[in-house]
């Protein structure tokens, strides 16, 4: 590379300046030489480094927030799925334990509830009653006005049963036109017969079904635990037999 030199002026020499040559690089040589140098990392200021660090943190925070949003979306979907499954499970259990037509508990539900009630009543030295209810001449309704009218009548009877039973008692559809009411915590036949008479009066008499006025009577048989033993099947069977006796004697309500 070409170099140029300058020297002290004569008057500078006389005044005592040393004869010191200074290297001088012309501008065009500087640019040319800088172009031939290997690139080196530039020194950055602390401010630039801080800004870059902040930007990096913001990117990480944004990514984290997005991950949280994704998890929240998945959690919401999972929650809805669990709700649907739980509802389906509850519906399945309800359809298994409740009659689809009337909405009342079924025979299987009655048996389980009766077993539990008998155990509790035995511990508390109380009594449990069963009312076995049959709709008189229900077949005539189906034969005369059709099964749709019969189904509507069953629904109306079930609704009246819900209204007139005592709090804590359980009304079930046992099958066909038969209903059973489980009486909890009674003093004996006196209480059972009083409730049976109330139900007979409430359920009987006229229904308006699809424009037809239907007069209805019911026959009710009663049984009480522990008078008939501790077995729930025996208790139901005893009430069933008492109901047939009431129907045959036209007495409407009959104890065992």
pLDDT digits (tens, 9 = 90+) for 29-76: 555 555 555 554 445 577 787 788 888 888 888 888 888 888 888 888
* Catalytic site includes residue 177: yes
Name, in order, each residue with C-beta under 8 angstroms of 256's C-beta and a sequence gap of 6 or more. 221, 222, 223, 224, 227, 228, 238, 239, 241, 242
- Per-residue pLDDT tens for 191-207? 999 999 999 999 988 89
Phi and psi, residue 205, nearest 5°? 75, 170
Share of the chain above pLDDT 90, in %: 36
pTM for the model stands at: 0.63
Q: What is the pLDDT of residue 42?
A: 47
CA dihedral 110, 111, 112, 116 (to 10 degrees): 100
- List 99, 134, 177, 240, catalytic entry: 177
Considering only residues 77 and 241, tell me which one the structure prediction assigns the higher pLDDT.
241
């Amino acid at each position: 590379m070409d170099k140029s030199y300058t020297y002290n002026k004569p008057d500078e020499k006389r005044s005592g300046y040393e004869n010191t040559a200074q290297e001088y690089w012309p501008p065009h040589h500087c640019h040319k030489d800088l172009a031939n140098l290997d690139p080196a990392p530039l020194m950055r200021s602390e401010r630039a480094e801080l800004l870059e660090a902040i930007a990096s943190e913001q990117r990480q925070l944004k990514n984290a927030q997005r991950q949280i949003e994704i998890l929240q979306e998945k959690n919401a979907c999972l929650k809805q799925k669990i709700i649907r499954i739980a509802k389906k499970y509850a519906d399945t259990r309800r359809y298994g334990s409740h009659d689809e037509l009337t909405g009342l508990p079924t025979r299987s539900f009655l048996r389980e509830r009766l077993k539990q009630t008998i155990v509790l009543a035995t511990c508390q030295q109380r009594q449990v009653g069963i009312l076995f209810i049959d709709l008189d001449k229900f077949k005539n309704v189906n034969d005369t006005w059709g099964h749709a009218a019969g189904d509507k009548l069953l629904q109306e009877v079930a609704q009246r049963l819900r209204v007139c039973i005592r709090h804590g008692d359980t009304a079930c559809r046992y099958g066909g036109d038969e209903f059973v009411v489980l009486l909890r915590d009674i003093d004996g036949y006196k209480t059972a017969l009083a409730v049976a008479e109330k139900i007979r009066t409430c359920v009987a008499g006229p229904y308006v079904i699809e424009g037809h006025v239907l007069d209805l009577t019911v026959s009710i048989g009663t049984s009480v635990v522990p008078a008939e033993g501790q077995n729930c099947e025996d208790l139901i069977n005893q009430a069933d037999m008492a109901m047939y006796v009431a129907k045959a004697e036209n007495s409407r309500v009959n104890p065992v």
